[in-house]
Amino acid sequence: MSWEDYVGHIDDTCGQEKDFILLLKQERKEEAIGLIRGAMTVDRQIGNIMLQGSLRGVEATFFCNGKLILKGLGSRENLERFLGSLFPAS
C-alpha cells in the first residue's frame, strides 16, 4: 500500500508558493484521518469540522470531509515524498 491508496485527487494552486489540495479516497478516509490526526500539531480547531496547524513541519488545514490543504511544499516531487512519509507503504 502507498499514499496513492489514500489520496484520490490532487490539485495544485497558482502563485509563487505552490500549495496543494488533496481529497482522500472515501474507502480509506477513516484510516487516513487517523494517520493525519496522529501526525498533526493542531494550532486551531473548529469543532470536528476543521483542524489547522502543522503536519510534520508543513502548514496544513484538514477538513472532516477528507480535504487536506498543504502549503509551501513547492513541487509535486516534494508533495509525493511528503505523502510517502505520511502514509507509509505496508
Alpha carbons 7 and 26: distance in angstroms, whole number: 9
Q: Confirm whether 85 is domain-assigned.
A: no
Alpha carbons 3 and 20: distance in angstroms, whole number: 15
Q: Confirm whether 20 is domain-assigned.
A: yes
pLDDT at residue 18, rounded to an integer: 84
pLDDT at residue 48, rounded to an integer: 86
pTM for the structure as a whole: 0.90
Range of the domain at 30: 3-69
**Axis crossing angle, helix 29-39 with helix 76-86, rounded to the nearest 10:** 90
**pLDDT over 70 (residue 90):** no
Per-residue pLDDT band for 74 (boundaries 50, 70, 90) equals confident
Alpha carbons 83 and 45: distance in angstroms, whole number: 23
Specify whether the CB–CB gap between 57 and 7 falls below 8 A: no
Q: Confirm whether 87 is domain-assigned.
A: no
What integer best gives the mean pLDDT of the chain?
Answer: 92
**Average pLDDT rounded to a whole number, residues 37-43:** 94
10 Å CB burial of residue 83 (0-12, 13-18, 19+) is: buried
Q: How many domains does the chain have?
A: 1
Assign 38 to helix, strand or coil.
helix
Q: Confirm whether 78 is domain-assigned.
A: no
